[in-house]
Chains A and B, each alone.
Chain A
Amino acid sequence: MQHEDPRNGESAHRSSKKPKLSSKFITESDIRDEFSHHHPRVARINNGSFGSCPGSVLTAQRHLQLQFLRQPDAFYFNTLRDGITASRKIIKDFINADHVDEVSLVDNATTAAAIVLQRIGRSFAEGKFQKNDTVLMLHCAFQAVKKSIQAYVTRAGGSVIEVRLPFPVNSEEEIISEFKKSIEEGKSNGRKIRLAIIDHITSMPSLVIPVKELVRICRAEGIEQVFVDAAHAIGSVKVDVKEVGADFYVSNLHKWFFCPPSVAFLYCKKSSSSSDLHHPVVSHEYGNGLPVESAWIGTRDYSSQLVVPAVLEFVNRFEGGIDGIMKRNHDEVVKMGKMLAESWGTNLGSPPEMSAAMIMVGLPSRLCLNSEEDAVTLRSHLRDRYEVEVPIFHQVFKDGEEGVRDKDGFITGYLRMGKRAKCFIRNEEAVMKVRAAFHGINICVLPSSDACGITQFLKNQTKKRKEHRRRKLYASWKPRNGESCCLRGCNEVESLGTYAFLLAIDKAETSNVGIGMALLQMVRIHWSMLDQPKLLKPWLWVKHV
């Protein structure tokens, strides 16, 4: 595959380059190839944590790494600086920054937070800020950011105000009003709010925050500087730094923008004080501006920062480029989220317009998720037992707060589902696995021709289950081709497809009606997700034991 040589500096044709009008867009099988290095059996619905990177970009990266090893001195003198400048220019255009000097490339959002907060710490130490001047942040800010505030702000004598975000949330107004309240608190007793740290998309629980509005409020209230932590933003939502209007804006490129681990951009609006920002790892470039300092922090592998042009090429192979990907991710994840919430009788953490490529889905209260530890245990269980990778959020309620209820109790846990458009073809199976896990349903996908084998398998399972003293209910139902049939209490289901489902349902947990609903949902989902109605023929065995 031909790739643009990332060694080329800013070439004349690059700025006027339009998305490649290839004869066709990337196909499903191309995508499967690009991500063939992913574990084939694991359902990866946690793109938000560590991101993903396609094979063609990895190849480009490898090429750069070998170039360095081949002749490092020449690479350092002739290739490195120009290559990073080329990447920065691409980002600058993407985010609508005014000048490339406003864009620095760093390892990740955590590093960017350290850069900004280190400066705040210095301001306290050098007497520019008074003791007890405040830094404002959201209570669900990323843990590393909170610790960074502790390390640089609190240690230097500053204080912190946390904005408590309502969750689940129903509208942007709820967030805006909490924010305004916290600003009042922060300014009380004559304190000044020196910095507001606002997430564009929070991590846990995941919500899209109305940053533009919040930044406007900050300006109106005289908050000196605003730092937007948009780790998840680029590739999930539209990023326009001028529109957002913050002083600092950071986003990881390896989460939703297909870069290899790891690289992020930090945008710093040009101002009188922007020259006082420094990378914490000091090199001989100290004092030459943050972008130049960040482009050389000692000998290390800079290939992930140099590979941005190759990433742009990859993204433009999709219909609609990054915008198309974002829209499809959003639509799919909302669809999946709604389907899960409906089948579990739970809720979504936020309205669809406040989610991007991730959505929070309430977990059935009968899971009894009562602590952070429970959430971690559940996550490990899903990974080890069901090969599903999905983060779980445990909701802590303050005194007097009540959460949302489902039919059995309060919902204390949420699952954060992240979707990458059609990159993981097993997503629908993953979703089914997840559902099944919580219904106590085991799914086996067996060839439908193996009728005898299935019956035998069932009998064996029954024996095993008896040994473990779990009461199992097996359902069996076999429609003929073209026949439509009814399950008690359910609507009609058309018979489709060639897969068979073997369901073992824990009777203690679901009523017959519930089982019926579950089965119905299962069939519908599989049918709609795979989009191949003619090929699906569900042979469902539901047998009372």
Chain B
Amino acid sequence: MNSTSASAAVTPQPLFITPPEVFSEFSHHHPSVARINNGGFGCCPSSLISSQRQIQLQWLRQPDEFFFNQLQPGMLRSRNVIKELINADHVDEVSIVDNASTAISIVLQHMAWGFAEGKFRSGDATVMFHCTYGAVKKSVEAYFVRAGGYVIEVPLPFPVNSDDEILQEFRQALEKAKQSGRSVRLAIIDHVTFMPTVVMPVKQLVSICREAGIDHIFIDAAHGIGCVDVDMKQIGADFYTKNLHKWLFCPPSAAFLYCRKSNEISALHHPVVTHQYGNGLATESSWIGTRDYSAQLVVPKVLEFVNRFEGGIDGIKRRNHDAVVGMGEMLGKAWGTHLGCPPHMCSSMVMVGLPACLQVSSDQDTLKLRTYLRDKFGVEVAIYYRPPKDGEVGPLTGYARISYQVYNKIKLLELDTDTEKLLLLLLLLWIIDITGKKYLSLLQPKATTLPLSH
């Protein structure tokens, strides 16, 4: 080996993570399941699981010392990392919570107090899209409606062809509210809807809300970071929440709630009250009684992991998007169906129409189909039922929501687990088309006779 001058000249570039390394990071995933539902529960690489374990052991080793000396600084570090990531102004605007469901409860509880304390009148409304996540709808029922509020649901056109279709529906709903004399106190907008999945034009929706004088705008971005660009100042909402375990590789579970600095921010409280009550939501959320905070403390390590990929989180996002759109289009062509929305409205997930012969005709069917695919084929994919509208002829009623994350391997020329599975699926459906409905009888055990092929 030569002297220092020579070695300085050949200092190697830091290598990006390689495919075998990615494979080993996710080697704890079930090896024979094609996991194309990252949007459901997310994923977490082994190196982060180890980091999390370190933190857990530190707590168990000497919990009092950890509580007094390490917990709060650790949470603050995580919050600072997130603040940088989302371009928030101040770290006080960033609170860490368990998940988006917790975040929505915080905001809605605040709204409920608005009614109880006379700031809002009975009948004041909230506006949200009809495909808003189930937990959010229930939370609205539990806090907003119960306190005297009214809900305006905006139908989301689906399949959808452009942002304008969505904006149009939204404007119409607000117009109707105005005409009926209701004050709209809160708008709940998904950044990326859950089912069916579509990237919403949030910036424009927020401007429409501001024009209409809506007090509070809450963006539910459970699928935000790692899926779409997230910039708080650009988006301009009052509240924004995002799960970090879905697309940002955190162990379950961690999420942040961004609350734009305003007079009201000090009135927001975590529903689980501790001695930190009154010290600001961020501080309240960082101690809600004895529990395992390791998933929230490990956030700085998450950034380290993400930056091992070429292009960091943006690179991952871009590649996910391209891959999933490619997969979706391939399936759409093979099945003779189509995507639920144009590629620019897809994130790292895409809705692909299922062949009509599958006759998905209810939410129950989607569950049965999903279970069938899991148990018989080892394919994990979410299925959506889209009810036909009046007057529609031969619409597609079933869609598969396909996700792509770094651990998926879909290269059409390489046969590996995931692709094999998809091909099997294709084959299966092709067989069904020919033999007709044999598979359906397996889904509907109530049928006593096996329908004959025709």
Contacts and interface: CB of A to CB of B under 8 A. Distances in A.
Interface stretch (B29-37, B154-162, B389-397): B29-37
B131 interface: no
Contact of B292 (A42, A76, A110, A301): A301
A284 to B, nearest CB: 4
Contacts of B253: 298-301
Which of A58, A118, A143, A261 has most chain B Cβ within 10 Å?
Answer: A261
A309 to B, nearest CB: 19
B116 interface: yes
Given A72-B41, A297-B102, A144 B141 contact: no
A257 B91 CA distance: 38
A37 B273 contact: no
A94 interface: no
Given A282-B135, A299-B42, A39 B245 contact: no
Interface size class of A (residues with CB under 8 A): 35 or more
A143 B275 CA distance: 6
B208 to A, nearest CB: 27
Given A72-B40, A74-B380, A280-B109, A37 B138 contact: no
A286 B271 contact: no
Interface stretch (A148-156, A172-180, A402-410, A425-433): A148-156
Contacts of A285: 138
Nearest to A75: B41
Interface string B274-290: 11111000000000111
B416 to A, nearest CB: 18
A139 interface: no
Contacts of B197: none
A506 to B, nearest CB: 28
A301 B44 CA distance: 13
Contacts of A281: 98, 101-102, 105, 271
B121 to A, nearest CB: 15
A69 B290 contact: no
Contacts of A108: 289-291
Interface stretch (A45-53, A352-360, A471-479): A45-53
A118 B271 contact: yes
A58 B60 contact: yes
Contact of A39 (B28, B61, B273, B290): B61
Nearest to B134: A284
Contacts of A301: 251-253, 292, 295
A282 B143 contact: yes
Contacts of B98: 281, 297-298, 300
A280 B252 contact: no
A37 B141 CA distance: 46
A262 B290 contact: yes
Interface string A253-286: 0100000111000000000000000101111111
A51 B289 CA distance: 13
Nearest to A286: B138
Contacts of B16: none
Contact of B28 (A70, A109, A278, A298): A70
A77 interface: yes
A287 to B, nearest CB: 8
B374 to A, nearest CB: 6
B430 interface: no
A262 B109 contact: no
Contacts of A412: none
Interface in A83-131: 107-111, 113-114, 117-118, 122, 125
B43 interface: yes
A420 B44 CA distance: 36
A53 B56 CA distance: 12
Nearest to A282: B139
B60 A298 contact: no
B78 interface: no
Contacts of B60: 37-38, 52-53, 58, 260
B142 A50 contact: no
Interface string A480-508: 00000000000000000000000000000
Interface size class of B (residues with CB under 8 A): 35 or more
B196 to A, nearest CB: 17
A71 B36 CA distance: 11
B266 to A, nearest CB: 13
A537 to B, nearest CB: 33
A147 B273 contact: yes
B291 A298 contact: no
B62 A389 contact: yes
Contacts, number: 191
B123 interface: no
B320 interface: no
B290 A299 contact: no
Contacts of A50: 63-64, 67, 290
B365 to A, nearest CB: 16
A73 interface: yes
A150 B30 CA distance: 48
B99 A298 contact: yes
B425 to A, nearest CB: 16
Nearest to A113: B273
B29 A70 contact: yes
Contacts of B291: 107-108, 261-262
A38 B108 CA distance: 41
A304 interface: yes
Nearest to B269: A151
A73 B290 contact: no
Contact of A297 (B28, B101, B290): B101
B231 interface: no
B49 interface: yes
A144 B274 contact: yes
A73 B41 contact: yes
A76 B135 CA distance: 16
A73 B40 contact: yes
A144 B30 contact: no
A534 B147 CA distance: 73
Nearest to B290: A262
A362 B134 CA distance: 55
A74 B28 CA distance: 15
A283 B28 contact: no
A68 interface: yes
A44 B274 CA distance: 25
A284 B135 contact: yes
A283 B96 CA distance: 19
A315 to B, nearest CB: 18
Contacts of A328: none
A251 interface: no
Nearest to B133: A284
A252 interface: yes
Interface string A356-390: 00000000000000000000000010010000010
A396 interface: no
B147 to A, nearest CB: 7
B380 A299 contact: no
B274 A110 contact: yes
Given A114-B272, A252-B290, A280-B105, A71 B65 contact: no
Given A38-B61, A73-B40, A107 B289 contact: yes
Contacts of B187: none
A111 B289 contact: yes
Nearest to B140: A282
Interface string B125-146: 0000000001100110111001
Interface of A: 37-39, 42, 44, 46, 49-53, 58, 62, 66, 68-74, 76-77, 107-111, 113-114, 117-118, 122, 125, 143-144, 147-148, 150-152, 155-156, 252, 254, 260-262, 278, 280-287, 297-301, 304, 380, 383, 389
Given A72-B41, A252-B290, 15 more contacts: A71-B33, A72-B40, A74-B30, A76-B41, A107-B288, A108-B291, A143-B275, A147-B274, A261-B290, A299-B252, A299-B253, A301-B253, A301-B292, A304-B292, A380-B68
13 contacts: A50-B64, A51-B63, A52-B60, A68-B252, A107-B272, A110-B274, A262-B289, A262-B292, A282-B139, A283-B134, A298-B100, A299-B252, A300-B295
